[in-house]
Homo-oligomer: A and B are copies of this chain.
Amino acid sequence: MKDFSFYAPTEVVFGRESEEKVAQLVKKYGGSRVLVHYGGQSAKRSGLLDKVCGLLAKDGIEYVELGGVVPNPRLSKVKEGIALCREKGVDLILAIGGGSVIDSSKAIAYGVPYEGDVWDFYAGKAAPETCLPVASVLTIPAAGSEMSEASVITNDEGEVWLKLGYSNNISRPKFAIMNPERTFTLPAYQTAAGVTDIMLHTMERYFNPDCDMTVTDAIAEALMRTMKDCVFAVLKNPEDYRNRAQIMWAGSLAHNDVTGYRVNGDWATHQIEHELSAMFDVTHGAGLAVVWPSWARYVMKENVSRFVRFAVNVMGVENDYTDPEGTALKGIAAMERFYHAIGMPNSIHELIGREVTEEEIVEMANKCTRNGTITQGKFKVLRMEDIAEIYRMAR
């Protein structure tokens, strides 16, 4: 059994009107000049941005706003944030939004006290010694960035865009305000993509090469089973507070290492999807729904009994003891049908609206392995040609 560590220091304040506590929390964690970082129009339209800024001002906390973060958040915006923070002497970054905004905030937080290029951290050329405190008012449950040490940034500065992740415990957010009512207006597609991402964060950990933390595995299965029911409930009734709440809280649990220690997880599906997002700028969760079934069929024989357990305990497939592989495949097919039922695509064609070309597949497989210099995955170690084959299976 592998050793692990667990560190989830983020203070979560969960419930209706939880954003009322924002000024109190900012002060508690040492913020006096805050960067309020957000994405597009929805934070404005909903009134949340104004509300948060009003509460900060009322408590005498200075702030400066920076919006315009896009999905698959970009290095250029991060650098704009770093410059702004330095100019204004910002001492805490408050993200209002989902994973993209929080990831962008973490990158800014690393960059402000660093003399070099913040991309150095993502490119593996340097490690930050310190970073500004980050916190969030969460509006999109999906990425789990509100409690995690991870962030993913797309470098949009060169001709070829590169999407890379960087993880460091020093960026774990100080607090996360979660009001499920703020997710009522999430469109169905974003809701479903979010749940797909949440389940995948658990699945990446669940399909690991050790598979011997029985209590953690049982917790992971419980979370995945629950999410299946919750997503249908909120797709039917977007203002179902109770089920919105389960999804929101599960989004954090799925990525704070309660369902498995991140470092021991597989993560190939995420890496393979990152190249799809980088090339076609698609929604991360939708990309995951396309990649996972092909990944699963490709790697299944590494540990068929693990896939059998997943099929039975998560997907509710009857265990045909005479045919483990058949049972495992039924579990994968059931997950594929689940994705379709919640409005997620089942192929790259459905995802991007056209056939992906062999050239594009080779380019993505190349980038995913840094031109064949690294592998991906731990459940099965994947080389460039394995990854190309998974793209082909998913086309």
Contacts and interface: CB of A to CB of B under 8 A. Distances in A.
A12 B7 contact: yes
Contact of A11 (B7, B14, B223, B241): B7
A interface: dominant SS: helix
B5 A8 contact: no
Interface string A235-249: 000000111011001
A213 interface: yes
Interface string A214-240: 111011011101110110000000000
Nearest to A223: B215
Contact of A215 (B1, B14, B241, B249): B249
Nearest to A21: B5
Interface residues of A, number: 40
Nearest to A16: B3
A215 B5 contact: no
Interface string A333-348: 0000000000000000
Nearest to A216: B249
A208 to B, nearest CB: 15
Contacts of A1: 15, 241-242, 245
A250 interface: yes
Which of A1, A16, A241 has its CB near the most chain B CB atoms (within 10 A)? Answer: A1
A230 B1 CA distance: 15
Task: Report, nearest first, the 3 A-B pairs whose CB atoms are least far apart.
Answer: A3-B15, A218-B222, A9-B9
12 contacts: A1-B245, A3-B15, A3-B16, A6-B11, A6-B12, A7-B12, A214-B230, A215-B250, A219-B219, A219-B223, A253-B258, A258-B258
